[in-house]
Every structure is written in structure tokens, then in C-alpha cells.
Amino acid sequence: MTENDSHLRYTGGMFFTATSSRKLLSRILASSALGLSLLASAQDRVLNIYSARHYPSDEALYSDFTRSTGIKVHRIDADDAGILARLRAEGTASPADVILLVDAARLLRAEADGLFKPIKSPALENAIPATLRAKASAEGTAWFGLSTRARVIVYNKARLQATDVDTYEKLGDSKLRGQLCMRSGSHPYNLSLFGAMMEHLGPQKTQVWLKALVDNMARSPKGGDTDQIRAVAAGECTVAVSNTYYLARLMRSEQAADKAVVGKLGVVFPNQASTGTHVNIAGGAVARHAKNPDNAIRFLEYLASPSAQNHFANGNNEWPAARGVTLENPALKAMGGGSFKSETVPVSTLGMNQVAVQQMLDRVGFR
Ligand code: FE
């Protein structure tokens, strides 16, 4: 599955057949105490996940969880927007137990829309810093960040110096006319970055900056972050914006073509002398109408465990969200091992700015 796929996909076999059989089974069994206990034990072994994580390396996480708990995982993959739309449409009938999203603003949107069931989990509260989870209410915490990724600037070393592009603001410099490659402005990764810029610059300057980005584009936005990186190496543009894990994936690739791409690139963690580099999170939550809430909590706790956190770092090149996890990933170490200055804009703000940012994008023609 590519990072641009937005359609729904079933990975757990006969998902709906299994669901409707369970409904039938529940009607038959619900009439007796024995039936109820049998049903409970059947539910004990299943977990339904809606995931916006589009990383093949995650398969190891699911199989490891099933191996250690005996709980079978059914998964539906879609992008963040597709998952949220599906949850709204399904309402109380939704079979979803766990929701995994890859953007802070989307997590907040879903929380605000009441799509999550707040939980109390000392294991998660101990592992995940308060800055990387939802604000707790009396009911509990609605979502937990599980990994982080930085949005960095990648440039062609033969054409530019690091100082030409060491801030997000400089991407709008007229010196870079016709040289910038970026994915769609409406993609969650960019909406969150632009929402953070709105905090730093204010709305008027942000719109001027976005217009300057459009003016500097080498081509209309298309593809994912990796496509922008490849276009920089190929000379179609000199500079692009990418999440760190796409870059790290190329840095760790054994393919000669990928090594050639990486050899041409310089990487900048932007705004180190000012507001810091934009950081986003991927996170998880229990679905509001979860039918297997205990399994859902168990799965989220598993994702915050050292072995799963290590997998985020080594399997998908993300920085762990949990405290005290040692990084073994050579590409992440080469990028400074997470020692860069990151911005301090609260993730809740990124979500609140999204509508205003989308309106600006429409006004300046940033597709
Ligand atoms: Fe991604």
C-alpha cells in the first residue's frame, strides 16, 4: 500500500461475515448465563483495529501481540479522514476497538467529535509523557501518542547550501523560484505544519508565506514525501519537505538507486535558531463503541512497551514516544538521535488552526 492510498482495505479476512456471525451467535447465546460466559471468552480473543498507519513493518507488531496474548487482530486500513468518516457513519454499530491515526490534529478532531472512549491506564500514563497525550478528563485520557516524527527540509547538495534552507520561512524566498517540491497542502502532515506556522507568524504572514511556496513550486503537488525526496535527487527540484521516517527508510536501504538518492541530499532540521522543528505524532485510542475494550487497552499498553517502542524506532524509523527507550536505529542516530530543538506549539493548536489553514490554501491555490 502506498502512502497515498485513501480507500479502505480489509486485512483481517472475512471481517463483516465474522461480525454478523458474532451478532447471530450473541442472540442465540445471550439467553443463558452459560451463553454469556462463552460469548465473553470468544470476545476475549479478538481485537478490531482501524489503522491509518501505512507501514508494512507494522505487521510484526500485530503478530507479536497475537503471539503473546492469543488475541486475534483484524485490521482495516484507510487514511485518517477515511477512518473518521467511517466511525461517524457506523455510530454505535461500529466494530472498531482501537483507532490508530498518524497526525496530532486528526487525533484531536476525533476526540472533539466524541469518537474515542477515554481510558485510565497507569501503564500508559507512566510510559507516555503528558505532552504527547490528550488532556485527561474525569473519565480518563482520550488518546496517547505512540511515536513522533519531525518534518525536515531536504535539499540537493550540488545546488544549495544548508543555510539557504535552514528555516521553513526560507522555502518562500524568491531565490527558490521554480525549485520547491511538496506533497498536497491539504495532507494532514502539511496542514499540521502550516497550523504551527500560523502560531509562529500569525495568519496574515502565513498566507503570504503559503502563496510564496506556491510561487516557488517546481511542479504541482503530487505524490508522497518520498516522491518529493526522489525529485530533489533527480534534479526536478532542489528542495523539499519530508517526514524523517521516509528519509531514514531511504538512508537504510540497501538498493543502489536509493543509496544514490541519499548521496545527493542534505538534510536540515529547520528553525533551530528560532521556533524549532515541527514535530508530529502518531497515536492510538480506544473507539467510543469498542466491543472489546479490555483487549483495546491491552493493545495500546503493548504499543507503549519497550519492545513495541523499539519496533517503531527500528522498524519504521520513528522516535519512540515512551520514556527511556534506547535508540538503535543508525539512520535516526545519523540525524542526531533526536537531539534537535523541536517546536513547543501545543498539538491542540494544530487542530484548531486547520480550518483557517485550509481556507488559506484555497485562496492561494495550494492544492
Ligand atoms: Fe506517512
- Please report, for the chain, the start and end positions of each structural domain, with discontinuous segments joined by +: 45-147+282-336, 149-277+350-364
CATH architecture of the domain formed by 149-277+350-364 = 3-Layer(aba) Sandwich (3.40)
Q: Is the confidence at residue 172, as pLDDT, over 50? A: yes
Residue 176 has pLDDT above 60, yes or no: yes
Q: For cell 521554480, name the residue.
A: 178
**What pLDDT is recorded for position 41?**
52
C-alpha cell recorded at residue 22: 458474532
Cell of 185: 497542502
Instruction: Report the separation in Å between the CA atom of 34 and the middle of ligand 1, taken as the mean of its atom positions.
Output: 46
If you count them, how many residues does the chain have? 367
Cross-strand pairs, 280: 149
Distance 190 CA to ligand 1 centre (A): 11
Cα 57 from Cα 309, distance rounded (Å): 13
The answer to whether the 45-147+282-336 and 149-277+350-364 domains have the same CATH topology is yes
The architecture CATH gives domain 45-147+282-336: 3-Layer(aba) Sandwich (3.40)
Task: Determine what percent of the chain is predicted with pLDDT higher than 70.
Answer: 88
Tell me how far the alpha carbon of residue 123 lies from the centroid of ligand 1, in angstroms: 27
Strand-pair partners of 9: 77
The whole-angstrom separation of Cα 5 and Cα 109 is 21
Looking only at the bridges linking them, the beta strands covering 46-51 and 239-243 are unpaired
CA 56–ligand 1 middle distance (angstroms): 12
Say how many Å lie between the CA of residue 288 and the centre of ligand 1: 25
For residues 104-110, give the mean pLDDT: 91
H or E element at residue 283: strand 279-286
352 CA distance to ligand 1 middle (Å): 21
pLDDT band at 16 (very low <50, low <70, confident <90, very high): very low
Q: How far is the CA of 54 from the centre of ligand 1 (A)?
A: 7
E strand or H helix at 33, and its extent? Answer: helix 33-43
Band of residue 8 on the pLDDT scale cut at 50, 70, 90: very low
- Give the CA distances from residue 199 to residues 54, 147, 241, 349, in Å, rounded to whole numbers and listed in that order: 29, 23, 19, 8
| From 1-5, 12-16, 191-195, 257-261, the region with the lowest mean pLDDT | 12-16
Q: Are 344 and 132 in contact (CB under 8 A)?
A: no
Instruction: Give residue 353 CA to ligand 1 midpoint distance, Å.
Output: 21
pTM of the model: 0.84
User: Distance from the CA of 3 to the center of ligand 1, in angstroms?
Assistant: 6
In angstroms, what is the span from residue 188 Cα to ligand 1's centroid? 10
Query: Separation of 32 CA from ligand 1 center, angstroms?
Result: 47
Question: What's the rounded Cα separation, in Å, for the pair 182 and 254?
Answer: 26
Query: What is the whole-number distance in angstroms between the Cα of residue 139 and the centre of ligand 1?
Result: 31
Q: What angle do CA 190, 196, 200 make, to 5 degrees?
A: 135
Question: What distance in angstroms lies between residue 86's CA and the mean position of ligand 1's atoms?
Answer: 20
Written as one letter, the residue type at 166 is D
- pLDDT tens digits for range 259-307: 999 999 999 999 999 999 999 999 999 999 999 999 999 999 999 999 9
At residue 209, the pLDDT reads: 98
